[in-house]
């Protein structure tokens, strides 16, 4: 990144903070040499997620640094050897010592400028309107990853807040069933988001082949999505775009290893409901209160997860239509007819609880986990130690209570020999549609535009 080019990540948050931050016992804590007036002083540093805290024991003072989007570099000292340099908004902090491990902790929150020195590009595996996705290999150990590359020259001013928000939220994620960012790089032309490489493809693509899942197969997937969303909600975030296209299989044909992806429409939960995008999501999957311009909370994700469960079992969504306006109007009402669906009573009870159009009566995720459907399949899964594949799950009958009128596609066998699909990543500015636009909404009263509000900073 040359000095005459402005960074995409420049914004007004200060490097050094005035406010105090509670220090946790489990935070990384170590002593390093810090330069001060041409001398090196031993200081105790604490790393707490995106915050670096420096102790001054003599004065009993603490300094707090916000590492988010700081430029991260290795530096060397003639006597002390390797060190870390952090630069942000005109401020700079350097420390020396055994810093390699700390570099791996810090890099998730920062920006680096030497992508081509660390990684080699193997091939392009996905392409969208705003980004391309490449399979890459780390030069140091030849481990493979995926990188999402944004061309800064085609990003518009209004795209910047959405992309910054998505990056901020993804950095918070640290769960086996949720996608995250490992490193971020920037040069004069591109932004690079390095992520884990998942080769199983989208759940949406698997559904095209298998058509439907048995109750057990649907449970294996839904359980992981529920655990992912409980974690996301614990971070104070709502996802707002749960659908098969955003569920990724880590390995081809293995459904007990899925991750929740695409945080382009996610946001920090707000009681006043004034989000960057308020009425948003994918038609046919969103909660009705979101389309009805009502105040909503985390339960919108419960409803979307219920639609996902319905889709897995039936091979189509409850509001599917070839007409966009009809889909949104049916979704707006939120009434799902379960009287003609033949599954176990436990399954139907769970669907009713998750798809209740009244959010006050709708299940919480804790109630979902306590449902008889979850308890039954959790017990059954304990009896099985082998890894579950699409082929073994889809052809298995769930219980003696299963109606013989279940989907005829459930007997279809899945072939693991078919060609692997490539994960198609989308940028936060691509589909799904942002329903804030009155041109996309069939409703009579278009939603007034909500101004972009100051983003909630990452808190410990």
- CATH, residue 384: 1.10.510.10
Q: Which domain holds residue 302?
A: 202-411
93 shares a domain with 121: no
> For position 435, what pLDDT does the model report?
42
Percent of the chain with pLDDT over 70: 80
d(CA 329, CA 319): 9
* CATH code for the domain of 83: 2.30.29.30
133 shares a domain with 84: no
Q: Is the pLDDT of residue 176 over 60?
A: yes
100 shares a domain with 206: no
Q: Is the pLDDT of residue 277 over 50?
A: yes
* CATH code for the domain of 136: 3.30.200.20
Last residue of a domain, one of 41, 73, 106: 106
123 shares a domain with 88: no
pLDDT tens digits, 148-167: 999 998 888 888 888 999 99
Within a domain: 352: yes
List phi, psi (to 5°) of 132: -120, 150
206 shares a domain with 254: yes
Q: Please give the full DSSP string across 96-162, using - where no structure is assigned.
A: ESS-HHHHHHHTTTSBBS-HHHHEEEEEEEEE-SSEEEEEEEETTT--EEEEEEEEGGG--TTHHHH
Query: Are 435 and 281 a contacting pair, CB within 8 Å?
Result: yes
Measure Cα distances from 413 to 108, 245, 400 in Å: 42, 22, 21
- Which of the pair, 289 or 411, is modelled with greater confidence? 289
Within a domain: 456: no
- Which of the pair, 452 or 319, is modelled with greater confidence? 319
> For position 384, what pLDDT does the model report?
62
The number of domains in the chain is 3
Question: Which residue has tokens 């691509």?
Answer: 430
- Which of the pair, 408 or 106, is modelled with greater confidence? 106
48 shares a domain with 126: no
d(CA 84, CA 51): 15
> For position 183, what pLDDT does the model report?
96
pLDDT tens digits, 378-387: 877 666 644 4
Residues 6+ apart with CB under 8 A from 281: 240, 241, 265, 290, 300, 304, 432, 435
Q: Which of 94-108, 135-149, 431-445 has the lowest mean pLDDT?
A: 431-445
Q: Is the pLDDT of residue 294 over 50?
A: yes
Buried residues in 254-265 as b, exposed as e (16+ CB within 10 A): bbbbbbbbbbbb
Question: Which residue has tokens 């209570």?
Answer: 401
Question: Which residue has tokens 């193997």?
Answer: 122
- Which of the pair, 2 or 149, is modelled with greater confidence? 149
pLDDT tens digits, 89-139: 889 999 999 999 999 999 999 999 999 999 999 999 888 777 899 999 999
Between helix 345-354 and helix 299-314 the angle, nearest 10°, is: 140
> In which element (H, E) is residue 184 found?
strand 183-186
Last residue of a domain, one of 57, 82, 106: 106
207 shares a domain with 190: no
Last residue of a domain, one of 140, 167, 195: 195
Q: What is the mean pLDDT of residues 140-153?
A: 94
Tell me which residues are annotated as active site.
241
Tokens coding 188: 């004069």
Q: Which of 52-56, 95-99, 399-403, 441-445 has the lowest mean pLDDT?
A: 441-445
Within a domain: 382: yes
Tokens coding 313: 């079992």
Q: What is the mean pLDDT of residues 343-348?
A: 95
Say whether the peptide bond before residue 432 is cis (omega within 30 degrees of 0): yes
189 shares a domain with 52: no
Question: Which residue has tokens 């032309």?
Answer: 189
126 shares a domain with 26: no
Looking at the chain, how many residues does it have? 460
d(CA 200, CA 283): 25
Within a domain: 416: no
234 shares a domain with 85: no
d(CA 399, CA 379): 13
> For position 365, what pLDDT does the model report?
97
Within a domain: 97: yes
Percent of the chain with pLDDT over 90: 58
> For position 71, what pLDDT does the model report?
95
Within a domain: 291: yes
Within a domain: 420: no
Within a domain: 99: yes
Q: What is the mean pLDDT of the chain?
A: 81
Between helix 299-314 and helix 215-234 the angle, nearest 10°, is: 160
> For position 35, what pLDDT does the model report?
92
Q: Is the pLDDT of residue 396 over 50?
A: no
Q: Is the pLDDT of residue 142 over 90?
A: yes
Residue 156 labelled as part of a binding site: yes
d(CA 241, CA 45): 39
Q: In angstroms, how far is CA 445 from the centroid of its own chain?
A: 32
364 shares a domain with 256: yes
225 shares a domain with 173: no
> For position 388, what pLDDT does the model report?
47
> For position 278, what pLDDT does the model report?
84
């Amino acid at each position: 990144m040359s000095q005459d080019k402005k960074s995409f990540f420049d914004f007004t948050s200060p490097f050094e903070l005035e406010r105090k931050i509670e220090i946790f016992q489990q935070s990384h804590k170590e002593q390093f040499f810090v330069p001060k007036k041409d001398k090196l002083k031993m200081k105790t540093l604490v790393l707490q997620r995106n915050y670096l805290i420096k102790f001054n024991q003599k004065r009993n003072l603490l300094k707090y640094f916000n590492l988010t989007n700081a430029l991260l570099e290795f530096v060397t000292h003639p006597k002390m050897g390797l060190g870390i340099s952090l630069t942000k908004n005109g401020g700079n902090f350097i420390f020396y010592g055994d810093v390699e491990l700390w570099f791996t902790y810090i890099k998730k929150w920062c920006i680096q400028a030497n992508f081509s020195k660390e990684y080699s590009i193997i091939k392009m595996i996905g392409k969208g309107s705003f980004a391309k996705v490449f399979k890459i290999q780390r030069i140091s150990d030849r481990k493979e990853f995926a990188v999402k590359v944004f061309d800064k020259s085609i990003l518009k001013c209004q795209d910047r807040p959405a992309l910054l928000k998505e990056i901020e939220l993804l950095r918070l994620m640290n769960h086996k069933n949720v996608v995250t960012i490992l490193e971020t790089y920037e040069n004069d032309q591109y932004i690079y988001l390095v992520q884990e490489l998942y080769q199983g493809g989208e759940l949406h693509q698997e559904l095209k082949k298998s058509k439907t899942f048995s109750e057990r197969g649907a449970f294996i997937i839904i359980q992981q999505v529920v655990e992912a969303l409980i974690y996301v909600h614990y971070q104070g975030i709502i996802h707002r775009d749960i659908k098969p296209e955003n569920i990724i299989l880590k390995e081809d044909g293995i459904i007990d290893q899925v991750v929740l992806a695409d945080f382009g429409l996610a946001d920090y939960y707000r009681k006043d409901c004034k989000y960057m995008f308020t009425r948003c999501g994918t038609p046919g999957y969103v909660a009705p209160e979101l389309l009805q311009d009502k105040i909503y909370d985390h339960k919108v994700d419960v409803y979307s997860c219920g639609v996902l469960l319905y889709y897995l079992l039936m091979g189509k969504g409850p509001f599917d239509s070839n007409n966009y306006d009809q889909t949104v109007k049916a979704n707006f009402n939120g009434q799902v007819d379960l009287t003609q669906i033949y599954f176990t009573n436990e399954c139907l009870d769970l669907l009713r609880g998750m798809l209740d159009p009244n959010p006050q009566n709708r299940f919480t995720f804790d109630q979902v986990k306590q449902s008889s459907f979850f308890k039954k399949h959790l017990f059954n899964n304990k009896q099985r130690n082998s890894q579950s594949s699409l082929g073994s799950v889809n052809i298995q009958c769930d219980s003696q209570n299963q109606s013989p009128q279940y989907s005829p596609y459930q007997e279809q066998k899945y072939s693991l020999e078919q060609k692997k699909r490539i994960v198609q990543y989308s940028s936060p500015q691509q589909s799904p549609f942002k329903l804030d636009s009155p041109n996309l909404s069939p409703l009579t009263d278009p939603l007034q535009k909500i101004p972009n509000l100051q983003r909630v900073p990452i808190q410990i």
